[in-house]
A and B are shown apart, each in its own frame.
Chain A
Amino acid sequence: MAYLDAASTEPLHPAAREALLAALDVGWADPARLYGSARRARLLLDQARAEIAEVLGARPDEVSFTSSGTQAVHLGVLGALAGRKRAGRHLVVSAVEHSSVLHTAGVHERDGGTVEAVGVDVTGRVSPAGFAAAVARPGTAVACLQTANHEVGTLQPVAEAAESCAAAGVPLFVDAAQSAGRLPIPPGWSILAASAHKWGGPAGVGVLAIRKGVRWRSPYPEDERENRRVPGFENVAAVVAAAAALRARAAESAAESARLSDLIERIRREVPRRVPDVEVIGDPVERLPHLVTFSCLYVEGEALLTELDKAGFAVSSGSSCTASTLRPSHVLEAMGVLTHGNVRVSLPRGVSADDVERFLTVLPDIVRRVRQSLGVQ
């Protein structure tokens, strides 16, 4: 089986596995207590915090660990809104944010707040001018922008958005889940969220970083853990493993990201040459190094996924027939691109060029067969 769905979750990095097993033995005690084993757990936790903070460009005391990237998003956005209640109740998001951001916006709207979703162009990028105009609206409490889109790979103009947010005095929440560990974090964020299993750490570790001086109030009942920002007992061993994976990724990323990016470039070029009536989606240059999405006309996404699975390829799709909601992906809708016959290929670290080549070889015939079954010549 060739695993080409790293954007859903990256396989556990060997360095993370090793660190996890070691930390389970020595880091199990309560890091909030004062005896030897507890101090050992505290030391491991804070060392991991310092390492992750360094790679993400934050100070260690700005970083808290959550139980997932989604929880980091929920806490980050709701806490920022709560901290800015007196400034206003207007929330600005891009139309292509991860569903965890949009669902949080939905909660805010049901609570009487207002939400503006800034549209994107056909590549999936939000226009810096459009975002700036939305943020400048009086009463804007918080703005949210992802570093890169999780479905199409397009990078967002976070640095420019941060400048317009700073000019308007609005904190910027940045969802870095898809790019952390693969690309440097752009400057200017006020609150940052990331997820360890996306960079090869274990599941169950999210990162919430809040810049010093940013107003933020927890939407949860008070809890002493994680600088009073995240409730519940820390998962020390998993955090240690997350840090080991991120450190290893950061060391490898220059060479590996360039290699993956070349493979993606090859897929972007070859798929439309080999398969008729295909639209390759997203920005061809300003993109994540490991991810490409394309849509095949006259093909059902689900049938395509099933056939690719039979041929030994694990990929994902934003087509409606593959979603539990039976709605097409909100990202593809907002871009105005084809939503059916959609395939997302995202390459894990260490993927072999042979697997990519084999994918390019089997794809044309699979698409032809699925089209034939629908009566398309």
Chain B
Amino acid sequence: MWRRRPAPRESEREPVSPAPPVTALTIDAMGRKCPIPIIMLADQIGSVGLGATVAVLADDPAAFTDIPAWCRLKSHEHVASYELPQGGWSIHVRRNY
């Protein structure tokens, strides 16, 4: 499948390469297919404090789109997605409520 190039308007969704900052919680969803990474995130986001950040490690390409979309639907904040050297992403979400 021919993949689209990074569209400029979606710059905040594109993965960034510097090392991801430390987060309050890391959820390891490597090797898990969507919707499992999102179910894990929804289950555990309540265990960090308000305004704290959760990192979801995932390598299912659907998670790269779906976690930011989940944040939009659930009014949490998608902070950034970092590409991991071993493949996949660390997707950072801030708890808003």
Contacts and interface: CB of A to CB of B under 8 A. Distances in A.
A102 B1 contact: yes
Contacts, number: 96
Interface string A324-346: 01011010111011111100000
A95 interface: yes
- Best-surrounded residue of A103, A115, A337, A374 (most CB of chain B within 10 A): A337
Contacts of B69: 279, 336-339
Contact of B66 (A321, A340, A375, A376): A340
Contacts of A175: none
Nearest to B61: A327
Contacts of A106: 2
Given A337-B69, A339-B62, A298 B4 contact: no
Contacts of B34: 300, 319-321, 328, 339-340
A298 B37 CA distance: 9
A61 interface: no
A102 B2 CA distance: 6
A332 B69 CA distance: 10
B61 A117 contact: no
B52 interface: no
Contacts of B33: 300, 320-321
Contacts of A279: 69, 73
A315 interface: no
B38 A297 contact: yes
A320 B8 contact: no
- Best-surrounded residue of B4, B9, B13, B39 (most CB of chain A within 10 A): B4
A105 interface: yes
Contacts of A330: 1, 3-4
Contacts of B66: 328, 338-340
A343 to B, nearest CB: 14
Chain B contact patch, size range: 20 to 34
B4 A374 contact: no
Given A298-B42, A320-B60, A336-B10, 12 more contacts: A99-B1, A102-B2, A109-B2, A119-B4, A298-B35, A300-B34, A327-B61, A330-B4, A333-B65, A338-B73, A339-B69, A375-B39
A355 interface: no
Contacts of A105: 2
22 contacts: A102-B4, A103-B2, A116-B5, A117-B7, A118-B7, A119-B4, A130-B9, A277-B73, A279-B69, A298-B38, A299-B35, A319-B62, A320-B34, A325-B1, A328-B61, A330-B4, A334-B4, A336-B69, A338-B70, A339-B34, A339-B66, A340-B38
Interface residues of A, number: 38
Contacts of B62: 319-320, 327-328, 339-340
A341 B4 contact: no
B39 to A, nearest CB: 5
Contact of A297 (B7, B60, B65, B70): B70
Contacts of A327: 1, 61-62
Contacts of B10: 119, 336
B36 interface: yes
Nearest to A300: B35
Given A332-B65, A336-B69, A339-B62, A297 B35 contact: yes
